[in-house]
């Protein structure tokens, strides 16, 4: 009986959370969930068709700021070998412009790298949402920040020199 009660509460909680979302939030949530599913099953066309032609994808490495074409070229070998990534959103916040033609979001993702954060901007073109900008970040617990800073100090220094042209 206790298991049934817990299951009932879990279903009630999830359905209540979903019911509290507006229709536009539900649509954007579904769009982003499907985008993550597209890459998980290595559906190159579906995944990249959700990106606007002028989109930018910012990866976890400081050097990874890609146009759509550059990101496609980087990603194609992974899709061809069916060795893509599988990110699942475990929490997401979605916000809209007044005319509901622009949306921005942040999400916590369960990934092979542990928890990551995705954030981005979507635009509505002819009633179809497109990702205009996406940023993927690795989360770092505050208690571990000093260790992470020490680990990346040398590579950060080299990259800064490169950016400054020295």
pLDDT tens readout for residues 126-144: 999 999 999 999 999 999 9
Q: State how many domains the chain has.
A: 1
Dihedral Cα 60, 28, 22, 20, nearest 10 deg:
-50
Dihedral Cα 32, 35, 39, 43, nearest 10 deg:
170
Tell me the percentage of the chain whose pLDDT exceeds 90. 85
**Is the whole-model pTM more than 0.85?**
no
The DSSP secondary-structure symbol of 110 reads: E
Beta bridge partners of 66: 57
Q: What is the pLDDT of residues 2-23, one digit of tens each?
A: 555 555 545 545 455 555 678 9
- Number of residues in the chain: 166
* Contact indicator for 117, 141 with CB cutoff of 8 Å: no
Which pLDDT belongs to residue 21? Answer: 74
CATH code assigned at 65: 3.10.450.50
Domain limits for position 50: 2-164
Kind and range of the H or E element at 125? strand 114-125
Instruction: Report the mean per-residue pLDDT for the chain.
Output: 91
Alpha-carbon distance of 109 to 114, in angstroms, equals 8
Tell me the percentage of the chain whose pLDDT exceeds 70. 87
């Amino acid at each position: 009986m206790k298991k049934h009660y817990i299951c009932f509460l879990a279903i009630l909680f999830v359905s209540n959370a979903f019911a509290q979302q507006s229709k536009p939030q539900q649509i954007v949530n579904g769009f982003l969930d499907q985008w993550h599913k597209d890459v998980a099953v290595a559906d190159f066309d579906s995944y990249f068709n959700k990106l606007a032609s002028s989109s930018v994808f910012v990866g976890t490495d400081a050097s990874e700021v890609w146009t759509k074409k550059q990101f496609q070229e980087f990603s194609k070998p992974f899709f061809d070998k069916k060795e893509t990534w599988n990110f699942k959103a475990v929490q997401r916040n979605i916000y809209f412009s007044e005319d509901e033609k622009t949306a921005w979001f942040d999400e916590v993702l369960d990934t092979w790298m542990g928890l990551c954060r995705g954030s981005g901007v979507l635009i509505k073109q002819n009633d179809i949402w497109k990702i205009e900008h996406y940023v993927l970040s690795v989360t770092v617990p505050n208690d571990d920040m000093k260790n992470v800073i020490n680990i990346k100090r040398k590579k950060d220094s080299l990259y800064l020199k490169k950016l400054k042209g020295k």
